[in-house]
Amino acid sequence: MIGRLLAVGVLVTTSAAGQSFTRAWFPDGAEVRLRTETTGGTQTVTGGGGIRDEHLFRILQDSRYDVIFQYELEAERVRGSDAVTVRIKPTTTISGIPTIATVREFPAVRIGQEVKIEILANPATGERVYDIFRPDDEPSPAPGHSMVRVSVNPGSPGVKLTVNGKPVWLENDWTPGKPARLHMPGQGAYYLSWESRRKFRLAGYVEKNRLIFLIDGQYVEMTFPDNVLTTAEGGPVWVYHDPNYVDGRAMCFLETYRSF
């Protein structure tokens, strides 16, 4: 069993490449990428948490989705520089779940630097769990507000996207079974439906956790941790391609689309 440990912060400059991470934006545009590392066998779930009162309520979950740690995260731009101040706070939102012992602030963390926080440890085995923050400068999808999204590397567990045979980074905010919109910079948006709709073309199929479609010269394949559909194991996919759709995000994004 991993036990609680006081958080200790150090600045490092290692890259987050090859890992899944959570992206959090704050009202003034500050962005923090958050990922978790372990030194032992404990497996954690990417993401975990949400926005409350314009700050991030962070929960850490193990592979069984049990919550094993919690805290609050704030960030704000440092005026006149490319740096961000990162602040973490104790929280007791979920009764009985460990949290950090005291407020910790890391002022003027520059874009590309990382703050590594040791949050849990098992003295018997030496296993440790770290959360790692890195300020970034991707434009906020919701200026003036806080927002959290999960980004998944093609080589990581989660939703994987390939376009014309090449793996592509994908942000995922889609609910299984719901209609979807896939935004691809430079290609516009692809609206996905599991039933025939006006202006939509029958362009692909779903088979359990795999989705494939071919439209306007783009061969798209996505694989998911679980079944794509909630009422069947497979079926056809209808697609509507809007090449003029502009989102402003520099990465591919899959999200629930509530109305056609």
Segment 213-241, tens digit of pLDDT: 999 999 999 998 888 988 888 899 999 99
- Give the residue numbers spanning the domain of 173: 160-256
CB 4 within 8 A of CB 124: no
Give mean pLDDT, residues 179-197: 92
Same domain, 15 and 105: yes
Question: With bands split at pLDDT 50, 70 and 90, how would you rate the model's confidence at 138?
Answer: confident
Same domain, 125 and 168: no
Q: Does residue 153 belong to any structural domain of this protein?
A: no
Length of the chain: 260
pLDDT value for 46: 64
How many Cα atoms occupy the beta-carbon half-sphere of 4 within 13 Å? 12
- State the sign of the Cα–Cα–Cα–Cα dihedral 150, 94, 97, 225: negative
Same domain, 53 and 132: yes
Quick: pLDDT tens for 19-55. 667 888 888 989 998 888 888 777 776 666 666 666 6
- pLDDT > 50? residue 68: yes
Residue 127, judged by CB atoms within 10 A of its CB (0-12, 13-18, 19+), counts as middle
Quick: pLDDT tens for 90-112. 988 888 899 999 999 999 999 98
Q: Does residue 64 belong to any structural domain of this protein?
A: yes
Neighbouring C-beta atoms of residue 241, cutoff 10 Å: 21
**Domains of the chain: total:** 2
pLDDT value for 181: 94
CB 138 within 8 A of CB 250: yes
